[in-house]
């Protein structure tokens, strides 16, 4: 997946992790659950786990990570889809109509 925006969310609850994935055009959906993962890992210094790498720093992500949010409590699918921010088709249509109107007004002025 080169040059594609991917939405990824993980919800930790009672020793299991639910993983959700979505895209620019598709709402997030549950893609898997890891049961029995235990507690969230902290390193010896008490620092939170690294995002996009391991504590050893030897396995970095060959991409960009943006817009990281941490919430107090676990999340269900409606909550995850609510924070994803996929534009509604009607919003895209309005944006397109606005762009056409702007282009038409510029042509009239020239």
Provide the pLDDT for residue 10.
84
Evaluate if pTM is beyond 0.75.
Answer: no
* Higher local confidence (pLDDT), 66 or 31: 31
Pairwise CA distance, residues 110 & 108, whole Å: 6
The string of pLDDT tens digits covering residues 13-54 is 877 888 888 887 788 888 888 887 666 656 666 665 567 776
Q: For residues 84, 89, 94 and 95, what is the CA-based torsion angle, rounded to 10 degrees?
A: 50
Task: Name the nearest CA neighbour of 11 among 73, 95, 92, 81.
Answer: 73
pLDDT band at 103 (very low <50, low <70, confident <90, very high): confident
Provide the pLDDT for residue 41.
59
- Residue 8 scores a pLDDT above 70: yes
Inter-residue contact 26 to 5 (CB < 8 Å): no
* Higher local confidence (pLDDT), 90 or 54: 54
């Amino acid at each position: 997946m080169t040059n594609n925006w991917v939405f990824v969310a993980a919800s930790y609850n009672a020793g299991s992790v639910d993983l959700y994935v979505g895209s620019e055009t598709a709402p997030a959906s549950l893609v898997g659950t890891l049961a029995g993962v235990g507690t969230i890992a902290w390193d010896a210094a008490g620092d939170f786990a690294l995002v996009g790498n391991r504590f050893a720093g030897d396995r970095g992500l060959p991409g960009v990570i943006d817009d990281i949010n941490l919430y107090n409590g676990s999340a269900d699918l409606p909550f995850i889809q609510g924070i994803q921010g996929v534009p509604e088709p009607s919003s895209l249509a309005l944006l397109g109509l606005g762009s056409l109107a702007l282009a038409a007004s510029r042509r009239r002025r020239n």
